[in-house]
A and B are shown apart, each in its own frame.
Chain A
Amino acid sequence: MNTNRAAFLATAAVGAALVADGRPARAATPSLGDRHAMEAILRTPARHKMIMGAPFIHNGSCLKTAHMLTAYEFAYGEGPGTVNLAISLYGPSSIMMLMDDAFWGESKAFELCSGLNDLPATVIRGPRNPFYHAHSKMNPHDDPEDPDGFYLDLSVEALTRRGAHWFICAQAVHTASRMFARLNGGGDPETYIAQMKSHLLPKAIIVPSGEQSLVVAQEMHFAYVAAT
């Protein structure tokens, strides 16, 4: 988080002053989330603005936002780049979609997701993030209707190339850290949090709350779609 200590303490003081009985509230642990990076992304000008919220992987349903981009680009004839798309992942399994190969290879990310019954049937344990790598050559000259082409490539890599922004919920990071501790028979959750932070995919940012990001975005006139 970019908030410095002085700003944080000032913030805490505001909160403390508002506690009903006048006693000072305990200082809050600084959030993992980067509010300012989130707001900068949400302020990016675009003709259309949309945020999708995904507490689960749900067979990669959040990746199907590719269809929405394609509809504006081709069916509406607007061309590329008219949509500011943010995808907010706020469950312990869905945030694993935004961890790099090394994390999937060395952690129990697979076990965490399978324990929550939240992996597509086709996914098997392996050394790579099964949601990241493009299935196509990411060629923008592909036919939009080619099922093996760029525009029907439902991967994090392809969507990122098309301009999608990715939010990871700090609360879900905490939840996942506790789940990793259980899956590993112990360990400090803070260690798991540090590991996750160091293995985020490029363009993924941690926000204070994935659910709250949906509210913040709508207040900035984003359309909201729930991943189902």
Chain B
Amino acid sequence: MKTNRGSFLVAAAAGAALFADARGAEAAAGPYDRTKMDAILGHQAKHHLIIGSPRINQVAALRSAAHIMGAYQFAFGEGPGTTHVVVSLYGPSSILMLMNDAFWAKSKAYELCAALGDLPETTVRGPRNPFFKAHSSMNPHDDPSDIRGFWHDYTVQALTRRGVSWFICTEALHTASRELAQLGAGDIATNFAQLKASLLPGTLIVPSGSQALVVAQERHYTYQAA
């Protein structure tokens, strides 16, 4: 992630400006990019899966995505790219996995997750999103059984490289905005704008992360709760 402090503040200011509009926060939350959501769900693949995750829950969603793709790729011998995985995050802690380093450094993201009892024990407060950066060298030639290799790299960066798509829930953004404010981190509107401005590249805001699970299943996706 290359977001520096300058671009972070510019983006946050742009987002905050939306709230000065008389239409208020609800209008600022949309319009949603329904076309892009449909395009993602319409991605051609042999297998389609959506994973829903209201909590970080020891990165269960990330682990499941890696294991499922790995099983089709290696155990089933299908090679890469046969499984399209969409991860839909719809809780105030889980959505923070899709915020950039600048947000984690300057906001109370860590404190929010800790207050919800939803951080892995090994996570410490630091200047970076602890769920983003790959733990491996992301080498596709790694042994699939190597627990430290690419195929067991349960990070957003590694999974994005493997083709995972990410949905983030507007309702959860609102909830996180309120909870950050309760933690003493600014006002709700500014928090909401900052969250929207701090998304990792490739993340798509959807009206409702849980509704996305229904939309996907109506399009014959399989589903897994994480």
Contacts and interface: CB of A to CB of B under 8 A. Distances in A.
Contacts, number: 92
20 contacts: A10-B77, A15-B79, A18-B79, A18-B80, A21-B140, A24-B141, A25-B141, A27-B143, A28-B74, A28-B144, A31-B74, A31-B75, A174-B145, A174-B147, A208-B76, A209-B68, A210-B67, A212-B67, A212-B68, A226-B224
Contacts of A224: 222-224
Interface string B140-170: 1111110100000000000000000000000
B71 interface: yes
A33 B70 CA distance: 13
Contact of B67 (A12, A14, A29, A209): A209
B93 to A, nearest CB: 17
A195 interface: no
Which secondary structure characterizes the binding site on chain B? mixed
Interface in A19-56: 19-21, 23-29, 31, 33, 35, 53, 55
B80 A15 contact: yes
A161 to B, nearest CB: 28
Contact of A215 (B79, B80, B140, B224): B224
Contacts of A215: 47, 49, 68, 83, 222, 224
Given A21-B140, A208-B71, 6 more contacts: A10-B77, A23-B141, A26-B144, A208-B75, A208-B76, A211-B68
A53 B224 contact: yes
Contacts of B147: 174, 178
Interface residues of B, number: 31
A92 B70 CA distance: 18
Interface residues of A, number: 40
Contact of B75 (A35, A53, A174): A35
A102 interface: no
A14 B80 CA distance: 10
A227 B142 CA distance: 33
Best-surrounded residue of A14, A29, A171, A174 (most CB of chain B within 10 A) = A171
Contacts of B47: 215, 219
Nearest to A227: B225
Contacts of A174: 145, 147
